[in-house]
């Protein structure tokens, strides 16, 4: 999830690379093979991403529905070289993975950090209806989203600058849970996971709702009673696949526990979450044998630390020491810096902590 809502660092550019920027433009445009380039959207004053010594390309792909989707591609300004490539598997919400100059958003700052990482290429995809991409995010189910990520991953293998033997998946929030499904059997060099999940979505919702009730200051004497209602709501919705509107018609008192209209939750259609419930992420991660950096924020109230520890342990069963679990001090769900759990719940963010970005970029450098 990313209902809360990826630092810059000079260490990311090696000596000599910056000079190569003069040999190639910082930003170039690329189109689909059929020439149907996707136009830029949003305020005319918005600036494209730009980094010293880095080519930034706004690419276009078509998904199975014919929708044009935005890929944001970065790679070092060197001709004829192939680079290890970081493919971002994004969050649940309908927020763009674009990281424009001047952003103060922690997730965007993290994405800028990896784009600056010397000797690496990066690929990001905006889901249907997000950023420049065509479609409607609020109507896009998970099966479609997963297929779009898989198609994007297949297509980048044809890029001349991508070293297909060194592709990393960087899963953030919801994407940190299902990242192995995106790989679809492709050889992956390693994973970085932040704030992901591995249990069933039903279990996740019970856990987050209990934390939400506590942090919202609900009377201790009421929490267990409310959790019985939460369990009834999500049993009907996720396990029995009943439409929330029908549930609320029979049990109107349950609607107070719902966020969104009866057709949507966190801005996505109810079918999206019923499809998440179908996933077996423990089975998916139990097949992973490559290095994995597993991150959980100390003040992440959205995803459970236990999920991330379980994920790491499953990978380490396959290959001892392959996975490293790290609790990020004073960090929220997607790299935000908070001074307390209550501040994280309230959204009172502190200035971004560059040490978080350094931990991620150093891991990529060690495993390149």
Going from N- to C-terminal start, the domains of the chain cover: 10-199+280-366, 201-277
Q: Confidence band (pLDDT; 50, 70, 90) for 43?
A: confident
Q: Determine the pLDDT at residue 46.
A: 74
Whether residue 329 is predicted with pLDDT greater than 90 in this model: the reply is yes
Q: What is the pLDDT of residue 6?
A: 33
Q: What is the pLDDT of residue 19?
A: 31
pLDDT computed for residue 2 by the predictor: 56
Q: Which one, of 323, 325, 368, 332, lies nearest residue 350 by Cα?
A: 332
Residue 11 pLDDT class (50, 70, 90 cuts): very low
Mean pLDDT of 318-346: 98
72-119 residue pLDDT tens: 999 999 988 999 999 999 999 999 999 999 999 999 999 999 999 999
Distances (CA, A) of 87 to 105, 183, 221, 305: 20, 10, 46, 24
Range list of H helices, the chain: 17-20, 106-115, 142-156, 174-183, 201-215, 220-234, 244-250, 270-277, 281-285, 305-318, 341-346, 354-366
Which backbone phi and psi does 26 adopt, to 5 degrees?
-65, -35
Cα separation values, 147 from 63, 151, 188, 359, Å? 8, 6, 17, 30
Provide mean pLDDT across the span 124-141.
97
pLDDT of residue 185: 83
In the chain, the percentage of residues whose pLDDT exceeds 70 is 90
More confident residue, 15 or 186: 186
Q: pLDDT band for 22, please (50, 70, 90 cuts).
A: very low
Evaluate whether 196 touches 179 at the Cβ level (below 8 Å): yes
Q: pLDDT value at position 37?
A: 85
Residue appearing with tokens 């591995």: 198
- pLDDT single digits (tens) 46-80: 789 999 999 999 999 999 999 999 999 999 999 88
pLDDT at res. 45: 60
Q: The pTM is what?
A: 0.90
What's domain 10-199+280-366's superfamily in CATH?
Answer: Alpha/Beta hydrolase fold, catalytic domain (3.40.50.1820)
Cα(133)–Cα(299) distance, integer angstroms:
32
Determine the Cα–Cα distance for residues 362 and 159; give it in Å rounded to an integer.
Answer: 25
In the predicted model, is pLDDT for residue 184 greater than 50? Answer: yes
Residues of the chain with pLDDT > 90: what percent?
86
Q: Which of 1, 36, 4, 17 is nearest to 341 (CA)?
A: 4
- Report pLDDT digits (tens) over 199-240: 999 999 999 999 999 999 999 999 999 999 999 999 999 999
197 HSE (CA, 13 A, CB side) = 26
Alpha-helix runs per DSSP H in 197-340: 201-215, 220-234, 244-250, 270-277, 281-285, 305-318
pLDDT in tens, 280-302: 999 999 999 999 999 999 999 99
3-state SS class at 80: coil
What is residue 39's predicted lDDT score, i.e. its pLDDT? 92
């Amino acid at each position: 999830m990313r209902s809360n809502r990826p630092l810059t660092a000079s260490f990311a550019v090696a000596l000599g690379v910056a000079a190569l920027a003069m040999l190639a433009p910082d930003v170039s445009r690329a189109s689909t093979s059929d020439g149907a380039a996707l136009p830029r959207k949003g305020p005319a004053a918005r600036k494209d991403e730009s980094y010293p010594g880095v080519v930034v390309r706004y690419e276009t792909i078509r998904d199975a529905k014919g929708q044009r989707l935005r890929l944001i591609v970065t790679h070092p300004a060197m001709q004829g070289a192939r680079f290890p490539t970081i493919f971002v598997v994004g969050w649940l919400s309908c927020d763009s993975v674009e990281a424009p100059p001047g952003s103060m958003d922690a997730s965007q700052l993290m994405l800028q950090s990896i784009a600056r990482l010397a000797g690496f290429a990066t690929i990001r995809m905006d889901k249907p209806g997000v950023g420049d991409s065509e479609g409607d995010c609020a109507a896009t189910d998970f099966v479609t989203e997963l297929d779009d990520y898989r198609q994007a991953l297949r297509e980048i293998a044809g890029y001349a600058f991508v070293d297909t033997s060194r592709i990393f998946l960087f899963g953030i929030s919801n994407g940190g849970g299902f990242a192995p499904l995106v790989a679809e059997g492709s050889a992956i060099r390693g994973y970085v996971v932040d704030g992901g999940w591995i249990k069933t979505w039903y279990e996740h919702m019970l856990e987050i709702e209990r934390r939400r009730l506590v942090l919202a200051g609900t009377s201790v004497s009421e929490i267990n009673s409310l959790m019985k209602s939460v369990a009834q709501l999500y049993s009907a919705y996720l396990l029995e696949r009943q439409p929330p509107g029908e549930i609320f018609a029979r049990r109107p008192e349950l609607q107070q526990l719902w966020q969104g209209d009866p057709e949507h939750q966190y801005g996505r259609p109810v079918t999206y979450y019923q499809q998440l419930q179908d996933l077996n992420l423990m089975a998916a991660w139990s097949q992973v044998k490559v290095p994995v950096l597993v991150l959980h924020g100390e003040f992440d109230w959205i995803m459970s630390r236990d999920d991330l520890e379980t994920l790491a342990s499953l990978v380490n069963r396959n290959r001892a020491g392959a996975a490293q679990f790290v609790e990020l001090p004073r960090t929220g769900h997607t790299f935000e810096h908070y001074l307390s759990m209550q501040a994280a719940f309230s959204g009172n963010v502190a200035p971004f902590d560059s040490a978080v970005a350094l931990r991620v970029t150093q891991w990529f450098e060690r495993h390149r």
